[in-house]
Amino acid sequence: MDGSKLNLMVPSAGYDARYADDQGSVITTRVDQTINWLLNWGRSNSIWYMLFGLACCAIELMQTGGPRGDFERFGSAPRPSPRSSDLFIIAGTLTYKMALRVRRLFDQMSEPRYVISMGSCSNCGGLFQYAYSVCKGVDQIIPVDVYVPGCPPRPEALLEGLLKIQEQIKSERYLQYRYGVGVTPEVSLLG
Amino acid sequence: MKAEEIFEKVRAKFAGDVATGFNDGKGGDRDAWFLVEPYRIEDVATFLKTDPELHFDYLECVTGIDYPDDKQIRVVYHVYSYVKRHRIVLKCLLDREDPALPTVSSVWPTANWQERECFDLLGVLFDGHPDLRRLLLPDDWEGHPLRKDYVEADEYHGIPTTRPNPIELFAIKVPSKAAPLADAKKEGGP
């Protein structure tokens, strides 16, 4: 770029040499950024969650799906199958007998998948953490993205958990790396 | 029918010491109870159900209690009659090392699952039970958790059964309520 002409619409030469000859009539962006934005926009507004209630937190989960909480205004619809759902809300006390099933259901979900641990019991065992039959936290068997504290959490708390998941999805750069905010991709799909 | 009359009727029916130790429940126990020899429990149950004056048609609860000091496991039956509106409690004293007694699921079918639960949590064997499997815990569980000497395993299928205390894990200083400022000064704070 000619240094004597100052054109703020042109990306800096170091940003991407491919667009060095553009003369400012068009705002350019990288195609993979656009696709990332589009994918994240679609994904974050269609987080389908699996119907999976374990204890009293499931009642609050139903309330959140009801007309006052209204989960679906964020595009989050309940699904009866792990294969078609993106979000796994562990709502309630998790026993060891159920923990093996949770692990299996999680394995059946397809990527990208997200997990909300809802309530004290699934966060750490909660009230029942000294019981012989209760798993001390769902994060001991599957990775958890968002912990929602409370016993049980109010619907507003679960809604905020969903918004946190949306934030996380919107910050993803799926074409480079799934968890990659600030991570240098090893392989870029678009070269 | 009063509890004492029920006890007398059972004792008159069976020879020997099949039914002993009547307690009228006024000494703090809520319900009147008596002891039954464990190996005759099925006969006693059949009598309680079929006798027209007793007519105990409902088994409310089968449960077990572990008494390690007495080296006993006691199995307790709460039975009730909807027709006669009376209730009695039977207790069987079993050896803690080898607890076994006949099933009553042939008399009251509801005993099926209740005895399975008792087997699951205390390890009591019910002879003649049609399906003596664990009811609540997973099939591959080891031990019977309601025994007083039960020790929790370190892990279950690779899942650890303990969780570190976060306060110890991150060494969070919790100020004492009595003198929070003194604690802070000691550590070089304000």
pLDDT for residue B69 is more than 90? yes
Query: Looking at the domain assignment, is residue A101 inside a domain?
Result: yes
Interface predicted TM-score (ipTM) over 0.85: no
Q: Tell me, what CATH number does A115's domain have?
A: 3.40.50.12280
Query: Looking at the domain assignment, is residue A26 inside a domain?
Result: no
Q: Each residue's pLDDT tens digit in chain A (191 positions)? A: 455 555 555 555 555 555 556 565 555 566 777 888 888 899 999 999 998 889 899 999 999 989 988 988 999 999 999 999 999 999 999 999 999 999 999 999 988 899 999 999 999 988 898 899 999 989 899 999 999 999 999 999 999 999 999 998 888 776 655 544 455 545 544 44
Q: Which residues of A touch B161 (CB under 8 A)?
A: 132, 136
pLDDT: is B166 or A187 the higher one?
B166
Q: Does A125 touch chain B (CB under 8 A)?
A: yes
Peptide linkage before A152 cis (omega within 30 of 0): yes
Q: Which two tokens stand for residue A47?
A: 């987080």
Query: Looking at the domain assignment, is residue A24 inside a domain?
Result: no
pTM of the predicted protein model = 0.75
DSSP string over B85-136:
TEEEEEEEEEESSS-EEE--TTT-TTHHHHHHHHHHHH--EEET-TT---SS
Query: Looking at the domain assignment, is residue A178 inside a domain?
Result: no
Tell me the C-alpha to C-alpha distance, in Å, between residue A29 and each of A21, A36, B92.
14, 12, 81
Domains of chain B: 3-140 (3.30.460.80)
Domain count, chain A: 1
Query: Looking at the domain assignment, is residue A56 inside a domain?
Result: yes
CA distance B187 to chain A (A): 31
Query: Looking at the domain assignment, is residue A4 inside a domain?
Result: no
Chain A window 105-124: which residues touch B at a Cβ cutoff of 8 Å?
124
What is the Cα–Cα distance from B53 to B12, expressed in whole angstroms?
A: 14
Structural domain span for residue A114:
43-170
A97 and B161 within 8 Å at the Cβ level: the answer is no
CA distance A90 to chain B (A): 17
Cα A39 to the center of its chain, rounded Å: 13
